[in-house]
Structure 1
Amino acid sequence: MGILIPLVVIAFCGYIIWRAGDSFVEGSNYIGRNLSEGVKGATINAVASSMPELFIALFFLFYLKDNSGFSGSLGTSLGSVIFNSLIIPSVAVYNVILFSKKDIVPVSKKVILRDGLWLLAVEILLIVIIKDSIIDWLDGLLLLIIYALYLFYIFKTMKGGEKVDYDFTLTDKEKVSFLSAFFVFDLRTMLIGNKKLNTPLAWFLFGFSSLVIGLVCYFLVIACDWLGSETYSVPYLGDFYGLNTPILFIALIFAAIGSSFPDTIISIKDAKDGNYDDAVSNAYGSNIFNLCIALGIPLFLYTTIYDTVIELDKRTMEMIFKIWIWFVGLTAVSIYTYYFGKGINKTRSVAMVISYIVFIVYVFFLASSISPSN
């Protein structure tokens, strides 16, 4: 029961994030309708779908504080990067192949090389930042500057899109009542009903969905803390036993997967609509956002507000380094897989999923050999 309770909470939070992700798709597609394919995926879609990681990192750092908080924040970001790189493009492409007559899905090598190399550069920069085991506000600011440079680069190198007449009008069969929408948590219908989308409504959907996801992410962080603890208390229910596992590993798997539902949904819908470049660039663009913004903003705010630095102990540094080796290695494998060849086929998609499963097995093995120090 002690393990089941946080898992149920995490699953429920993941469901809410998934449903709110539909509103993200709706709003971001309208807001970015005039951006070129690839640019929209790496910017609007990536920012929208990665809001959970930002909120989770904020709550981890301000809720658990210092070493544990940073471990939770870093674990979520690293886990999301690996999930995004291996699972999301593969699942998106596999869906296209499964439900169409295509044997292979072409993707822009320029997009893969652009976002993939930027991601590798950020990953290397990240380990350089934390190798001295001291994190301060300058490190957070540096990550934010890197993301600003990334945005500048893609807008300078990718062409703008043509003006699109975005007409999303529901038919009578597609219209649903507020009550029906409430039971499945259909935010779009609950907020704006069956109205035709326009710019103000699109931004409203975007903003309100962010707030909902932010609230849900708070409970997801609490559930992850319960799961990793030796013992924990639930109001009105009593005391329970957790896994007694470092929060880094809990966040690396459970928080990361729970927060990655919007990325998965957006990429699958992009791929089904034929926007293959957006499906891939959303995943890689989300990764860069996760490492630069979802880590940079919490680090900058926390160290500035509390006028402190975060000191990582030797045990935490050893765990981070072991994960980082897999982190960079699997990123390189994903870039190689998606870049070489004529496109992504079913075999390559399955191979990426298997790689992720192997990584999860390694994380469980590593976690079983280490117990929390507090």
Structure 2
Amino acid sequence: MIFLNVVILLFAFVALVKGADIFVDGSAALARFFKIPSIVIGLTVVALGTSMPELAVSTSAAIAGANEIALSNVVGSNIFNLLVVLGLCAVIHPVPVENRILKRDFPISLFPTILVLLASTASSLFNGNFLSLPMSADSGLVSRWLGIILLLLFVIYIVYLIFDAKAHPTEENEEKSLPLWKCLLLIALGLILIIAGGKAVVYSAQNIARFFGMSETLIGLTIVAIGTSLPELVTSIVAAKKGEVSLAVGNVLGSNIFNLLFILGVSAAINPVSVNVASIYDLGILIFVSLLTWIFSITKRQIGRLEGIVMLFCYAASMTFAIIR
């Protein structure tokens, strides 16, 4: 039984990654068909496409009532993106950081994390109750209203990106557009794989967690989070090996902002997401990791190899804490 669930989980991850890839290709082709600028495609369609696995898993978990997976998947993916994706890229090749990313994307990625932590767990945090509670105890709630606020912030963020892109235009790469029917076919096929893969990940992850006596929070923070971050990881490592790492920080922060604002927003709007004590610690770790990466980026306007190694060690330490707590 456990072997079957592991096989289902592996095939589900393959479906998620391939589905996201096909969805991005189809959506980008459709955007080109309607003459939408490539920079806008990159900031919206491609960023959403790489976050599709997290969206599929978190919304499936919210619908199924597996709220621990919905939240821990988003938080775990963001921690993984910052420490492992950027850390590995920096080890392979130092990652330069643009000044605009330092001033715009880092603050924007930090704000919703702090907002979710404070708004969902205010009473527990200020009373200090969570310190005396077991890790699995409920200590807060990402309400529907907070989910709607996150979605509104997401819309504002996208509108800002589009206006900013138009204010700082780049050269357009003219690519031959596909026929409309082929664009729609690719989008439909990608969505089918993503939705099916998302449901399969939640189903198998829950069964694996029960078999080993693991909490849904732990498995969402580790196995599910790593699996749904595969598109960002593979894309960034390939780019780093080719020496094309200039956009790595922007891509990772963009994905993290999508995860927090859009994916957690959608999940909470569907079904309020309960926050347990373990998730309070994880949100705190995410804030610390975001600040650490920001500091590393500010020092020399790049993330160096030594800093990349430190980030990988930090991820190992955070996972060790998640397992033994």
| TM-score, reference length from structure 1 | 0.72
Spell out the pairing of 1:243-254 with structure 2 (5 A cutoff).
243-254=212-223
Q: Deviations over 1:127-182 (max 9, x none)?
A: 12211524432111101011112122223334233221226xxxxxxxxxxxxxxx
- Separation of aligned partners in 2, 1:274 and 1:113: 24
Check 1:301–1:329 CA distance in 2 against 1; reply closer, same or farther (3 A cut): same
Work out whether residues 18 and 265 of structure 1, in 8 Å CA contact, stay in contact via their aligned partners in 2: no
Query: Is residue 276 of structure 2 the alignment partner of residue 317 of structure 1?
Result: yes
Q: Secondary structure at the match of 1:265?
A: helix
Aligned residue for 1:160?
Answer: 169
Report the secondary structure of 2:214's partner residue: coil
Aligned to 1:286: 255
- Residues 192-226 of structure 1 show CA distances to partners (whole Å, capped at 9, x for unaligned) of xxxx8467645543442132111011111011111
Q: CA deviation at 1:274?
A: 6.2
**What is the CA–CA distance in structure 2 between the aligned matches of 1:206 and 1:278, rounded to whole Å?**
25
Alignment RMSD, CA only? Answer: 2.7
The answer for the alignment partner of 1:193 in structure 2 is: none
**Count of residue correspondences:** 302
Identity of aligned residues (%): 23
How far did residue 81 of structure 1 move? 0.6
User: Is 1:137 the counterpart of 2:134 in the alignment?
Assistant: no
Moved over 6 A (4+): none
Q: CA deviation at 1:286?
A: 1.1
Higher helix share: 2
Instruction: Provide the C-alpha distance between the structure 2 equivalents of 1:135 and 1:344, rounded to a whole number of angstroms.
Output: 33
CA distance in 2, matches of 1:50, 1:89: 16
Partners of 1:147 and 1:298 in 2: CA distance: 14
- The answer on 1:19 being equivalent to 2:28 is no
CA change 1:26–1:256 in 2 (3 A) is: same
Partner of 2:59: 58
C-alpha contact 2:63 2:270 (8 A) present in aligned 1: no
Which ranges in structure 1 are unaligned for 5 or more consecutive residues? 98-103, 168-195, 230-241, 304-309, 367-374
2:153 aligned partner: 146
CA distance in 2, matches of 1:203, 1:343: 40
Alpha carbons of structure 1 residues 265 and 141: separation in structure 2 relative to 1, 3 Å: same
Judged with a 3 Å threshold, the aligned counterparts in structure 2 of structure 1 residues 201 and 339 are, in CA distance, closer, same or farther, namely farther
Q: Is the alpha carbon distance of 1:93 and 1:42 closer, same or farther for their aligned partners in structure 2, counting shifts above 3 Å?
A: farther
Structure 2 residue corresponding to 1:347, chosen from 306, 314, 323: 306
Q: Distance in 1 between matches of 2:214 and 2:279?
A: 14
Pairing of 1:77-226 with structure 2 (within 5 A)? 77-95=74-92, 97=93, 104-131=94-121, 132=123, 133-158=140-165, 159-166=168-175, 197=178, 201-202=182-183, 204-226=185-207
**Structure 1 range deviating more: 250-259 or 203-212:** 203-212
Say if 1:89 and 1:29 are closer, same or farther in 2 by CA, change over 3 A.
Answer: farther
**Structure 2 match to 1:70:** 67
Larger Rg: 1
Paired AA for residue 118 in structure 2: V
State the AA in 2 paired with 1:285: G
Instruction: Flag the 1:115–1:343 CA change in 2: closer, same or farther, 3 A.
Output: same
Q: Sort the Cα spacing of 1:332 and 1:162 in 2 relative to 1 into closer, same or farther, 3 A.
A: same
- Aligned-partner Cα distance in 1 for 2:218–2:232: 21
Tell me by how many angstroms 1:29 deviates.
5.8
